[in-house]
Chain A
């Protein structure tokens, strides 16, 4: 789940929870508020009654004759004042809710009870207010509160969605940049445009990491280049010396043979070094890629270069190339090296009298896929992932090569954004497939 979705889910849940709590607490809140309001109204009324008694005397409120108790109702009978002479002890003011029968139905009344002396006589006052109307108020409140809450939740959610999206946009930017990194030479990114310090920190850390990786790669490449270069000079000396020695006349036959063997060993070393240098140069981007390469033509040239070996092993070549495979921008020299390495392997690991098929077609994705299939012994599935590693060789019987050919192929392919795939099965042989990226119309 994306962070944005999670955050939205979180705020939605918390808002929902808040709304639920508010709605659940509403009856209690409303009741408390109404009670308070009623209670203070009752007290005010009590004071008014007391003031009135002080003005006109208590007789006005008591019934004529016996004059002990009287209850006054207002017109709608949802308020009453009850006055009663009593002989018991005075008590402190109390407020409570009591049911009262009115027209045969029990109605809850909020009642204030008060006792006080008037002209030596103790009286109790009861002032009551019906609270039946509270229920209506509550219902009304609940409905409107529900609507208000729903509206608020929705609007804030929409705002948050936008804000979260905006806040998290740098994440997409960072990911985009990381995906754009091809190989150790990362392009120089401008600093990320964000005010969120966490993202700035993340971006800075990634930049640092990229730089570090770049440095390590740089060092490795430099090392290979230096080592190869420093070794090439002594090799040159030896090779030239052997050559000079072999030119000498009346050299004993045995010495001659040994010199030739040494020369061979030296030659192997030279080849390995040259290949390592080539890989390091490719990875160091030292080959200008500024040509549009006609792959069919390169294939033809490479086949011509290898025709003797193909003929010698009596291998038949099948062409099944559709369309015009092109690669741009590219280095023709490198593409030639890539192709010739693959073809050379296809010969080397083929059986005598076998077959090599060169086929290819344009895919729906506009990428051209080229297959080079040979009818050699299948490569074990376990070995396939390691095929392109340096100095890897899987066939102990094949005495030739140092296991660098496919490493060269890989680095050249990577430089040109060409994807390589290998499949190998006993029946069909081994196929190396190259997916050439579509040629963009606006290339160099």
Chain B
């Protein structure tokens, strides 16, 4: 998939490019509004990652322009340090598919891009499963076989995120960024230590239903991962629901 990264900061664009390359996206870069316009005129992209604070142009203008021309089907995600409420609302009104305030976690960006793609292609799974567990996304419930397991909102989000990136190690920061990213509260509530509390609770609930397996693994000091179904040495792709 082709991605146009519109970002005036070279170092930031580079990190973004590295990550997306790793995730098998093909990246193109534009550092000014003009450059971006030219590329949008010539090429077709699946994604435009748009920084609003460009040196020569307001990113929102570019957004409106991109929506009209060749790339009107591209998914546009705004990445902005401005983060004012108006920007967010204007951006979404002008047709952006999502909005992430800087600094964001790359994993979160990746997840949002996947979600946008799934939405675009009408692939909306409402059930995800691992082991004997089933996560129902439409009513946000968790079951083990026929037994419902009561989880809190945050616990559900945590499990869902781990499942989306199954077999990968997710750092506490990435998890907390996903779970609390949108709520503006004091720094203490973003504290990634709370993740441990949630993980502990989720583990307890999973163990009640399935005492044999330890599904959520602690990976050294880094974070957690959801174990693949058959504890094979090579990480297997998540089975389709």
Is there an interface contact between B104 and A408, defined as CB atoms closer than 8 Å?
A: no
Provide the residues of chain B in CB contact with A237, threshold 8 Å: 9, 11-12, 15
B81 touches A233 (CB 8 A): yes
Report the contact-size class of chain A (Cβ under 8 Å from the partner): 35 or more
Nearest to A403 among chain B residues (CB) is: B186
- In A409-440, the 8 Å CB interface with B consists of none
Contact flags A296-320 to B (C-beta < 8 A → 1, else 0): 0000000011011101100000000
Contact check, A400 vs B188: say whether CB atoms are below 8 A apart. Answer: yes
Residues from chain A with a CB closer than 8 A to the CB of B9 are: 233, 237
Give the residues in chain B near A312, CB-CB below 8 Å. Answer: 197, 201
- The answer to whether B188 and A308 touch across the interface, beta carbons within 8 angstroms, is no
Chain B residues with CB under 8 A of A311: 152, 201
Q: Which residues of B contact A161 (CB under 8 A)?
A: none
8 Å CB contact of B197 from A309, A337, A402, A405:
A309
Q: Is the CB of B186 within 8 A of A257?
A: no
Q: Is B84 an interface residue (CB 8 A)?
A: yes
Check A207 for interface membership: any CB of B closer than 8 A. Answer: no
Query: Out of B53, B152, B187, which one reaches A275, CB within 8 Å?
Result: B187
- The reply to whether B188 and A264 form a contact with Cβ atoms under 8 Å apart is no
Which B residues between 159 and 187 are near A, CB-CB below 8 angstroms?
A: 169, 171-174, 176, 183-187
In the assembled complex, which residues on chain A have CB atoms less than 8 Å from the CB atom of B185?
Answer: 337, 340-341, 344, 405
A271 within 8 A of B: yes
Contacts of A307 in B (CB 8 A): 152-154
Task: State the CA gap A253–B53 with chains docked (Å).
Answer: 38
Interface of chain A: mostly helix, strand, loop or mixed: helix
Interface of chain B residues 4 through 40 with chain A (CB within 8 A):
9, 11-12, 15-16, 18-19, 22
Asked whether, in the complex, the Cβ of A240 is within 8 Å of the Cβ of B152, the reply is no
B197 x A260 contact (CB < 8 A) = no
Q: Which residue of A lies closest to B79 (CB)?
A: A236
Residues B44-81 near A (CB distance < 8 A): 53, 81
Closest chain-A Cβ to B69's Cβ sits at a distance in Å of 29
Contact A240 B12, beta carbon cutoff 8 Å? yes
Cβ-defined contact, B222 with A260, below 8 A: yes
Give the docked Cα–Cα distance between A309 and B84 (Å): 29
Q: Which of A239, A243, A340, A405 contacts B183 (CB 8 A)?
A: A340
- Whether A240 contacts B220 in the complex (CB less than 8 A), given A232-B102, A305-B183, A344-B188, comes out as no
Residues in B neighbouring A344, C-beta threshold 8 A: 185-186, 188-189
Given A240-B16, A304-B153, A271:B106 Cβ within 8 A: no
> Residues of B contacting A233 with CB < 8 Å?
9, 12, 81, 102
Complex interface bits, A235-251 against B, C-beta within 8 A gives 1, otherwise 0: 11101110110110000
Minimum CB–CB distance for B194 against chain A, Å: 7
Report B160 CB to chain A, min CB distance, Å: 15
Assess the A232–B191 pair: CB atoms within 8 A.
Answer: no
Task: Using CB atoms, name the residue of chain B closest to A231.
Answer: B81
Q: How far is the CB of A263 from chain B (nearest CB, A)?
A: 5
State whether the Cβ of A268 lies closer than 8 Å to any Cβ in chain B: yes
Q: A275 to B83: give the CA distance in the assembly, Å.
A: 12
User: B16 — which chain A residues lie within 8 A by C-beta?
Assistant: 240
- What is the distance, in angstroms, from A345's C-beta to the closest C-beta of chain B? 8
User: For residue B189, which residues in chain A have a CB less than 8 angstroms away from its CB?
Assistant: 340, 344
Is A351 engaged at the interface, CB distance under 8 Å to the other chain?
no
Known contacts being A287-B85, A309-B194, A404-B186, is A241 close to B222, with CB within 8 Å? no
Is B145 in contact with chain A by the CB < 8 A criterion? no
Q: A237-B15, A253-B220 are in contact. Are A260 and B171 (CB under 8 A)?
A: yes
Complex CA–CA separation, A185 to B12 (angstroms): 37
How far does the alpha carbon of A352 sit from the alpha carbon of B215 in the complex, in Å? 29
Residues of A within 8 A of B (CB): 229, 232-233, 235-237, 239-241, 243-244, 246-247, 253, 256-257, 260, 263-264, 267-268, 270-272, 274-275, 277-278, 281, 286-288, 304-305, 307-309, 311-312, 333, 336-337, 340-341, 344, 348, 400-402, 404-405, 408
Provide 15 A-B residue pairs closer than 8 Å at the C-beta atoms, listed in order of the A residue. A235-B102, A239-B103, A244-B106, A257-B220, A267-B173, A270-B103, A270-B190, A271-B187, A281-B85, A287-B85, A288-B86, A308-B152, A308-B155, A340-B185, A401-B188
Interface, chain B (partner A; CB < 8 A): 9, 11-12, 15-16, 18-19, 22, 53, 81-86, 102-107, 152-155, 169, 171-174, 176, 183-192, 194, 197-198, 201, 220-223
